[in-house]
Each structure stands twice: as structure tokens, then as C-alpha cells.
Structure 1
Amino acid sequence: MKMRKSIVALLVLSMIIGLMSFSVYAATVRKVTTSNYTPQQTEPATRIYVSKTSKELTLIADNKVIGKWPCSLGEFSANGTKQKQGDRTTPNGDYYICVRNDKSAYHLSLGLSYPDKAAADRGFEQGIITQEEKDAIYTAIDKKVCPPWNTALGGAIMIHGNYQKGVPTAGCVAVSNDVMDIIWPYGQLGIKVSVGP
């Protein structure tokens, strides 16, 4: 009988120690909140970078460079970013592909989401576009669709084929037809395209 009481006492003591340990653990876990946790940021699986300085387009997929190729840009792209329709300048910025055209006059083409919100803000402040046009651009960008291309800011900026060395575009990014064939399957709607130095 004494042995049985000793075993019961040990079991009860073990349960008490276990509950106390769990309480300490639970209190520690409660202190960890999402407000002090920052998830690791990763780059999108597929993206395109256009360097205006080197006139080169780089395609990246699964964090590996698929290729780098020469490209033509707008005639006056070295002067900065696109300001308005007809200025023959390729815009600087981060865009996404908003349209794919396999019946393009330039072999194949991928449309960029220009004008973006920054261009809309600048255009409105300078009196180039109306409040309604600015709002329409904002709405399109928020919905991840093509913004209006018919404002005074210009639009229909494409990555397309028919590259000719030394021949500038009206503002698009031109690569060879062979390169466009490589880019085409990667150039799905929504992928990031950065245009910069």
C-alpha cells in the first residue's frame, strides 16, 4: 500500500512539474508576435531588367540569369525618363507586363504598365493630365491591368522584336526576334520589368 501511495505521489509530482514547465514555455511563446517578425523578402521568380546605360536587357528566372542581350531604346532615353507622348524616351521605373501581343508588327511584344503612379502624379502636377486621367491610371495600377495609354503622358511602351543595332525606337525596348522568342514564354502577365541606369 505504501508503494502504491509513493507511485501515485510521484505521478502527481511529475504532472505538476510538467504543467509548470508547459506554463513557462507557453508564456515564452506568447511573447513572440508577428509584429517583431519580418519575413525574408525574395525577388519574383521571373523578372526583366533593362539597363539604359549599357543598352542591355537581362532576363532572370528562378534567380538565375537566363541571358543578357543588346537592345535599342528611345532616341532620347539618355536624357532621363519619359515625360510625355512623343518625346521618344524610354521611361525609367518598375513596371509589370500588362499585355502580350503575338500578332505584333514587331514580331512579338510585351506591353509595360507605363504610365505608373509616379508618372501620373508628375503629369497631374505639371498640368499634363487631368484628375480623371490620374485616377484612371491609379485604378489600373491597383488592379494590375494596363493603364490608359491614350493620355498626354504617352503609353504603349513595349518590349518587342525587330531590333536593329544603332537604330533607336520611339520609346520602346527592341531586341532581336530570336531573343524575343526566348523572352516570350517567360514574359507572362504581371512579371516585373525594371528600367534604369
Structure 2
Amino acid sequence: MRSKLIVLALVAVGLFAYTKVMARIGSGSPPPDAPLEQRADLIRVHKYERRMVLLRADAPIATYRIPLGRAADAGPKQREGDEKTPEGRYEIDWRNPKSMAHLSLHISYPKPEEQHAARVNGFPPGGNIMIHGLPNGWGLLGDVHRLLDWTDGCIAVTNAEMRDIWARVPDHTPIDIMP
């Protein structure tokens, strides 16, 4: 029994080290921007359906199945560490090509009123909510990652989907995250 625990501990340490190394290596070069007619002017997230839609002039141009925060069905994000995905209207306010996950687009959570509510209740609101691919080095998981909600409040897609989203979603694109 003791040798099995040692092997399990070594595997866990190895996986942790692999993840840390891959996070530092990054996800490579981001794709070029899509042609204007293929770019989204709105993102709509349907939390309960685990679906994200890119729209242009109110017409869907791409749809993705998504996992969310582990507690996404428990309502909107209110505080750091609650593992909920926010709800409301935000925007994509910056992007990170060297993210620990395969590319990432930052969602402008928390809004001033969410910061105020958290402060009044005596806790930090959290932040760093992103649309992102899989953690660097774990891209081979592909569609398997959709079997459960695994993020801390982010919206996850496959790496190939993230490259498509990166190319189609300009900075300042509004995002509506609905229950």
C-alpha cells in the first residue's frame, strides 16, 4: 500500500511540474484577425445551456459548447473564490497571448456596482474572468474537457475553438452572460 501511495504522489508531483512548465512556455503565436465580415459584434453566453454564441448583426456566426465555473449554476459571481461565472453585460477589454491557458480574452468583470457590493459585504469581488482554451500542455484533452465544469468562473473552449474566437472577437466586443 505504501509503494502505491509513493507512486501516486510522484505522478501528482510530475503532473503539477508539467503544468507549471507548460504554463511558462505559453501557447504560441495567436492567429491573425478574421476578415471583417466574420468578426463578432456581440458574444452571448447561455450558462444553463453551456453554450456560447458569436453574433454579427444579430445573426449567429459561430456556436461553442462550453464548461464554466464549478459553481456556475449557483447564480452570478459575487466574490473571489466562489467558482461562479458572472452574469450580466460586460466587454472583452484585453487579451493575453501568453496566458497559462491556450490564449485568453479578459471579460470586464467586476463592474463598479459589483465591486461596491463585495466591499459592502466585506469580501473581494474576484476578477480575472476569461474566455480561454485548455491549460497549456493539456490540449490533447480536446472535447473531453466539456464533461464537467472545471474552471474557477471562466468560460472554457478547446484550443482550436479559442484560436477561432481570438481571430473573430475584437477588443471591446460586448458579452452578455445570461443564466
Name the aligned partner's letter for residue 77 of structure 2.
K
1:32-71 map, 5 Å: 46-71=41-66
Say if 1:60 and 1:67, in contact at 8 Å, map to a contact too: yes
**In the alignment, which of 185, 188, 192 is matched to residue 167 of structure 2?**
185
Which structure 2 segments of 5+ residues have no match?
1-39, 135-141
Name the aligned partner's letter for residue 115 of structure 2.
A
TM-score by length of 1: 0.62
Say if 1:100 and 1:188, in contact at 8 Å, map to a contact too: no
Counterpart of 2:22? none
Shift in Å, 1:125: 2.6
Shift in Å, 1:157: 0.1
RMSD: 1.5
Question: Which structure has the greater CA radius of gyration?
Answer: 1
**In the alignment, which of 114, 117, 126 is matched to residue 119 of structure 1?**
114
Q: Deviations over 1:106-129 (max 9, x none)?
A: 11100011111231231133233x
Counterpart of 1:166? 147
**In the alignment, which of 129, 132, 142 is matched to residue 157 of structure 1?**
129
Q: Secondary structure at the match of 2:168?
A: coil
Counterpart of 1:148? none
TM-score by length of 2: 0.68
Q: Percent identity?
A: 36
1:18-29 map, 5 Å: none
1:90-109 map, 5 Å: 90-109=85-104
Counterpart of 1:75? 70
Does residue 84 (structure 1) correspond to residue 79 (structure 2)? The answer is yes
Q: Which gives a bigger RCO, structure 1 or 2 (Cα 8 Å, sep 6+)?
A: 2
Counterpart of 1:10? none
Equivalent pairs counted in the alignment come to 130
Shift in Å, 1:99: 1.0
